[in-house]
Chain A
Amino acid sequence: GAGVSQSPSNKVTEKGKDVELRCDPISGHTALYWYRQRLGQGLEFLIYFQGNSAPDKSGLPSDRFSAERTGESVSTLTIQRTQQEDSAVYLCASSTSGTVNTEAFFGQGTRLTVV
């Protein structure tokens, strides 16, 4: 595809259920980032993957959050035992490398609502 693709675009889930969000980066992009934006707030960094290196998980808010990426392809962000505070737009971005001067391309986001 031409851009970063995320699915689903919208997800409503009941409190306590697990959810899985998917990100398809631009082909050839070795770096992949997950961010979230809660209503009325700014963007928060969650996790960063660069090639086959160990991911930077420093932004994950709790151990209910995890993410995986196989090689340089799809990534999934999993939230276990969802809470209402997890409601947010989850954004994925990818770039050609993890060096500081490469531009990141964002997906459209997944809007998660926990009821």
Chain B
Amino acid sequence: KNEVEQSPQNLTAQEGEFITINCSYSVGISALHWLQQHPGGGIVSLFMLSSGKKKHGRLIATINIQEKHSSLHITASHPRDSAVYICAVRDNNAGNMLTFGGGTRLMVKP
């Protein structure tokens, strides 16, 4: 079993829909990152969380440390949000190494 599991693996949505991407992990962590990978391969860091909730524009990220679960929400989705969204955790027992989920491929149709 992978240490970091994301769901869904693939998601197609209509423009304007509210989107949720989930990340569950099985290890003790010190921080969780949400990353966005564009079709060309470039990666942008969206959020880094260790507790609670963060919001940036139409993006919201939440984390529940007790349940070992995080969600990334996109409100009023737009075709430009189409990308792969990756959850990554800093394992307490693995130094500074990030362990990555498999990614969620999102396509938002106009």
Chain A: interface residue total (CB-CB under 8 A): 27
Q: Which single residue of chain B is at the shortest CB-CB distance from A106?
A: B43
> How many Å lie between the Cα of A109 and that of B48 in the bound state?
21
B42, A100: Cβ atoms closer than 8 Å:
no
**Among candidates A42, A98, A106, residue contacting B96 with C-beta atoms closer than 8 Å:** A98
How distant is the Cα of A95 from the Cα of B69 in the complex, in angstroms? 25
Give Cα distance in the complex from A48 to B90, angstroms. Answer: 13
A-to-B contact residues, CB < 8 Å: 31, 33, 35, 37, 42-45, 48, 50, 56, 58-59, 89, 91, 93, 98, 100-106, 108-109, 111
Point out the residue from B30, B45, B100 that lies within 8 Å of A42, measured CB to CB.
B100
16 residue pairs A–B, Cβ–Cβ below 8 Å? A31-B96, A33-B96, A42-B103, A43-B88, A43-B98, A43-B100, A45-B97, A45-B98, A56-B95, A93-B43, A98-B96, A101-B30, A101-B48, A108-B42, A109-B41, A111-B41
The 7 closest A-B pairs by CB, nearest first: A106-B43, A100-B30, A43-B100, A108-B42, A45-B97, A42-B100, A42-B102
Give complex CA distance A89, B41 in Å.
8
Q: Quick one: given A43-B100, A98-B96, are A109 and B50 in contact (CB under 8 Å)? A: no
- B binding-site residues for A, Cβ under 8 Å: 30-31, 33, 35, 40-45, 48, 50, 86, 88, 90, 95-103
Q: Which of A58, A91, A100 has the most CB of B within 10 A?
A: A100
CB pair A101 B50 closer than 8 Å: yes
A43 to chain B: closest residue by CB: B100
Selected from A56, A102, A106, the residue in CB contact (under 8 A) with B97 is A56
Asked if B96 and A50 make an inter-chain contact with CB atoms under 8 angstroms apart, the answer reads yes
